[in-house]
Amino acid sequence: MSKSGPSSTDASRTHATTSRGGFSSSLGVLAATLGSAVGLGNIWKFPSLTGANGGAGFLLIYLLSTLFIGLPLMVAEIAIGRQARANPISALRQLQPRGAPWWLIGVAGMAAAFLIMAFYSEVVAWVFAYVAKALSGNLLSSDPVQTQASFDALVRDPVQALLWQWVVLAFIGGILLLGVTRGIEAATKRLMPLLFLLLVLLGGYSLTLPGAGQALSFLFAPEWHKITPAVVLTAMGLAFFKLSIGMGTMMTYGSYFTAEQNIPATATRVMLADLSVSLLAGMAIFPAVFSFGFQPSAGPSLVFITIPAVFAQMPGGSVLLAAFFLLTAIAATGAMLSLMEVPVVILHERWGLSRPRATLLTLLILGLLGAGCALSQSTLATFQPGGRTLFDWADYLSSNLLLPAGGIAIALFVGWAWGERAFAAQLSNHGQLGNQGLARVVSLLLRWVTPVLILLVMLAGLGVFSGA
Ligand code: TRP
């Protein structure tokens, strides 16, 4: 992913300001973008939301949103970033028609980044804690009551919840302050295939469990009556969250793309790879749900209670379990670094803070906001304004409100303000690739279809049409 120092051979640097680096190779671009997309969204959010929202119908809407809303927006964001070679606020200021306020998208994006990281860092905290607990060997059990009790013991203990979050923040901060993001990226690149393999193994094993048939029909045979407007909004929100779009992450990463990179092809590859990780996680988890008597609607605890049950039967289960959560932690770290990058680069490039200072300030704000989420299951469990804990609010508001709203604004910007010619130039690398036809189609989509579709889904999901 990111650029703690400029790389001398980087072709993109001719466009960049002198202090900006960039991804150094085509493979690096792909790996970093994938590193942002793949994370807890696949292993934690995707299964728990699919389980809680009825299975196949939700999955279908999620797929459609990814294809027709997520992918065009991802392409749009990367194109904006690469054209401007700057943080989201500066990028939009640079490209917007004189005096128009499109740069506010960048401000909203920074707010969204903090909100997402506030709860995301707590889930990463649970993953870190599970690595440690798996190694000490007392997590494995195929008894739902027991695995749920282990999870509750962790999240309902305010001290553990807070301390593990601080461990995560210190870890991420350490990576950024030591300037070893490149090292982490290199490690991630090598370890992600391992996570993939482990998921294939787990999924394959899970499919031999007695509940596999039930799991497959849960995942792939839609029950249409379960698709409510709220379910559709949640599925669309997941598509935004999964592809890291709607708040400037992909714009920021786009600003580090090489000039030669084929943007639509990269985005499509990332989307497909990301989707396969999610589906594999589903294959690993849902057969266990139906075989051992878990509830698919268990919510945020789902992956933490089912995966230990799957490993319980295997030889070397404890070690494999620790490896699973370790690889998940690494994937989540890549995603978290991409979230951090948005406020850090804004504070750096616009406020003139040095990168280390920008990092420390971001971590400080995060420590304060994050504590509210960390304590949501313990000290603050009864604090539920409007029927949700702070954790749930941060999760709900970001995915179901801020990201889709950001998506509408980005689509409108590209469709109406930026101009199709500049957009097509980015998609085709100034005519070198044959993407002009595609640019035309995506441009029309972003102009007329995407914003209307997102708005309708949002209004319906929020109950505006039903008067709820
Ligand atoms: N996509 C990541 C995941 O699924 C999370 C993430 C990283 C993200 N950057 C983002 C989500 C920007 C929304 C916006 O784990």
Whether pLDDT at 179 is above 90:
no
Tokens of 211: 């509940």
**Ligand 1 center to residue 335 CA distance, Å?**
6
Residue 113 identity (one-letter amino acid): A
Is pLDDT of 16 > 70? no
pLDDT value of residue 190: 82
Among protein residues, the one whose CA lies closest to atom 10 of ligand 1:
244
Ligand 1 binding pocket includes 247 (Cβ within 6 Å): yes
Least confident of 203-217, 229-243, 311-325: 311-325
**Average confidence score pLDDT of the chain:** 92
Amino acid at position 15, single letter: H
| CB of 116 closer than 6 angstroms to any ligand 1 atom | yes
* Residue position matching structure tokens 């991420």: 172
Give the pLDDT confidence score for residue 71 in this predicted structure. 98
**Atom 6 in ligand 1: which residue has the minimum CA distance?**
244
* pLDDT tens string 393-437: 999 999 999 999 999 999 999 999 998 999 999 999 999 999 999
% of the chain exceeding 90 in pLDDT: 83
Q: CA 165 to CA 173: how far, in whole Å?
A: 12
Ligand 1 centre to CA of 75 (Å) is 16
Mutation to probe ligand 1, out of 338, 341, 396, 410 (largest number of atoms < 8 A from CB): 338
SS3 330: helix
Q: How far, in Å, from the CA of 170 to the mean position of ligand 1?
A: 20
Residue 27: predicted pLDDT: 83
The atom of ligand 1 lying closest to the CA of 45 is 4
pLDDT at residue 208 above 90?
yes
How far is ligand 1, taken at its centre, from the CA of residue 30, in Å? 16
The string of DSSP letters for 345-412 reads HHHHHTT---HHHHHHHHHHHHHHHHHHHHGGGTTTTT--GGG--HHHHHHHHIIIIIHHHHHHHHHH
Q: What is the pLDDT of residues 362-397, one digit of tens each?
A: 999 999 999 999 999 999 999 999 999 999 999 999
Other C-beta atoms closer than 10 Å to the C-beta of 466 total 10
Q: Whose CA is nearest to atom 8 of ligand 1?
A: 244
The number of beta carbons lying within 10 Å of the beta carbon of residue 131 is: 17
Contact 458 CB / ligand 1 (< 6 Å): no
Residue 18: strand, helix, or coil: coil
* Sign of the C-alpha dihedral computed for residues 276, 277, 282 and 284 taken in this order: positive
Sign of CA dihedral 72, 455, 110, 383: negative
Q: Give the pLDDT of residue 19.
A: 54
Nearest to 162 by CA among 373, 13, 303: 373
> Is residue 188 predicted with pLDDT exceeding 80?
no
Instruction: Encode 235-268 in three state secondary structure.
Output: HHHHHHHHCCCCCCHHHHHHCCCCCCCCHHHHHH
In this prediction, residue 15 carries a pLDDT of 37
Listed in sequence order, the residues at least 6 apart from 409 whose beta carbon sits closer than 8 Å to its beta carbon are: 102, 105, 108
Q: How many Å apart are CA 290 and CA 270, to the nearest integer?
A: 31
> Does the beta carbon of 110 sit less than 6 angstroms from any atom of ligand 1?
no
Give, for ligand 1, the residue of 122, 244, 247 to mutate: max count of ligand atoms closer than 8 Å to Cβ: 244
Q: What is the pLDDT of residues 333-363, one digit of tens each?
A: 999 999 999 999 999 999 999 999 999 999 9
**CB pairs under 8 A, 24+ apart, for 353-358?**
355/4, 355/176, 356/176, 356/177
- What integer pLDDT is reported at residue 451 of this predicted model? 97
Residues 95-132: tens digit of each pLDDT: 999 989 999 999 999 999 999 999 999 999 999 999 99
- For ligand 1, the distance from its centroid to the CA atom of residue 240, given in whole angstroms, is 8
Q: Does the beta carbon of 244 lie inside 6 Å of ligand 1?
A: yes
What is the DSSP code (8-state) at residue 2?
Answer: -
Domain range summary for the chain, segments of one domain joined by + = 9-461
What mean pLDDT comes out for the span 144-155? 95
- Whether pLDDT at 187 is above 90: no
Contact status, residue 249 vs residue 339, Cβ threshold 8 Å: yes
Ligand 1 atom having least distance to the Cα of 335: 7
pLDDT of residue 182: 72
Instruction: Judge if the beta carbon of residue 335 lies within 6 A of ligand 1.
Output: yes
DSSP-based three-state secondary structure for 285: helix
Tokens of 142: 């195929």
**The CATH number of 9-461 is which of 1.20.1740, 2.40.360, 1.10.10, 1.10.8?**
1.20.1740
Q: Would you state the pLDDT for residue 264? A: 97
Report residue 66 as tokens: 């990814």
pLDDT of 30 higher than 70? yes
Q: What is the pTM of this model?
A: 0.94
Average pLDDT over residues 214-240: 97
Q: How confident is the model at residue 158 (pLDDT cuts 50, 70, 90)?
A: very high
**pLDDT tens sequence across 72-103:** 999 999 999 999 999 999 999 999 999 899 99
Q: From the CB of 39, is ligand 1 less than 6 Å away? A: yes
Ligand 1 close to Cβ of residue 32 (< 6 A): no
Classify the phi-psi angles of 244: left when phi > 0, otherwise alpha if psi is within -120 to 50, otherwise beta: left
Is there an atom of ligand 1 within 6 Å of 249 CB?
A: yes
Residue with the smallest CA separation from ligand 1 atom 4 is: 41
Helices (H) and strands (E) in the chain, counts: 22, 0
